[in-house]
Structure 1
């Protein structure tokens, strides 16, 4: 099987408009969560989120593009531009035909849906813009990225709720490893911070009204975020031959289904995905130095995830660092795994472990080293990134230094 490496990365999220800003914020333990600035926020019970603040779409796109690009597509295109620029790659000829894009998103063009539901149901309009469907469809971002970069190979969107990005990146990894493609743009994007998006999540009663405190005994729920993370995955020998800078190697991937409950997580399902990623990467549990946790800040997820980690790693779990960067950038739902992969790359490249901020009280059911409140310098060679979604769908990636 062919080796797969990451040669480019890009992001737009509440912590920063690019990778360097995001890494600096993670290293400082900065919080991107604050009061929501959206229409009808006074009608919401939850009034906080990790918004991309100060964002002006007209600074990046013209009027015709804005008519076609929902906010989630805009974020994806900006992140992809950064990743492709860093990779220093141009897609033409045979390479274009052997390159594609796999995107993760859960809501797709939810901002567009929200605006048009208002127009029809609240304002009584009988016509909507002719581009509403191509603007809100879940594959819009993947399609526009493929057109932007002439990616003529496998291109599609994965929608598996909070595991969408990890599933997407796992599929991109497997395509290159198996020989189906040579280069893939992959990651995820989400922009659910509109009235309808937040109101729907309020109904689940899993949202915090003040802060995201993963693994802390006084945690009281998750906080939504928005943004995108995009990467260039490339076959190793090809990247090496052209002298590309290699950020990390994608060493393994596994996915599992709880087949149990639509919202409650399963320790067994999560453990199968974690163990499967280790097997796929041919790694011993003792080789893992850091796990970027799903770590939503809900009582159910955090204790279940810690139990799954303890089951898989045994005694080594006590030596393992595990943190949740959702405490800083919020839960990007379908885009969350992509932004969290940046924390994994930072750990491998810079030896900086992003912290779990807002940690206040130890929880006996989360008795692991959660890197509380402050980043830590530590040399690690292999890391994992966990994603566990509603619907019981789990996806775990293993990355290694190179």
Structure 2
């Protein structure tokens, strides 16, 4: 039966652990999906904000040079003046935020007219220039501007401020008044990666905290399951013990009753053994079914007993110990010993003072009862079964404790009791 209970406990624990594991996997999976969706939303919003920013920068550049579109000016001189104006414009600290310009013709040739951060490129044909991925981004910039008048192009470029290849978004506008010149500017998109990294770290922290909470909850659940299983096991053990006890008592008593009905005198020795066995069994039942109470319940009971003798004896009572549960059987045994000892002191010791010391220790309860009475010689005393000393030793023995007595004539008596907590 015990193996069956253990199997059920193992099955319950494994099932509970499997459910928690599945919940954790689902939570992690859903969190990853949420992160992907969140990344898309952030990237879309970030890209839209950068596009608006580039449109505003280009609008500023167009306003700065639109007065040069007049037909009264020489086209070449006007174009060169426009390039000088654009060269002076910058944003984002100037190093990474600049404007560029290319000429474009029908054969898709382009000459870089402006690159303030890389002057060596000015005047060179870069129609075949590619980025790190092999994309002909210069050609695409010119084609987009010539086809749509203006537009966006994505490519990679070396960021001047840190010389790292970085994704870039450019916005170009065709200026037909300047012989199909294309002007544009761009923004490096490394900030979005930094933002996403921060969000991912926060999300990872959130996942860790959630999983930790689930694990803690699972552990608490397993502890509760184990505790409940233990209680169920104890209840079943008590039930089984009670059934066996009932059968044993009925069997023993039936033998005695049957012998009496047959007018036979039961064997005294056998009857004594039966009664001794019944007494031992009942003692085990009392311990097994014993209710637990706080150690202060013991202190209160002893104080009440001592108070009932204070009009006849001077009693000094000291109680010390931490809060620990004790069985009712332990409390009853110690209180009976205190009461019996005080009765004996009052009747036989002629004591003027009695000291009672109760100490709650980690694994036991210590009781010391000391008087300054007449005392006695232990070597000459064999207490009969109906004496107080025999009664006290029997009581403490029943709960697995120990009682010792130290006494000398005219020097008083010390009774020391050690009782287990459980």
What TM-score range do you get, normalising by the shorter chain?
Answer: under 0.3
Question: Max radius of gyration: which structure?
Answer: 2
TM-score, normalised on structure 1? 0.17
More helix by share: 2
Higher relative contact order (CA 8 A, sep 6+): 1
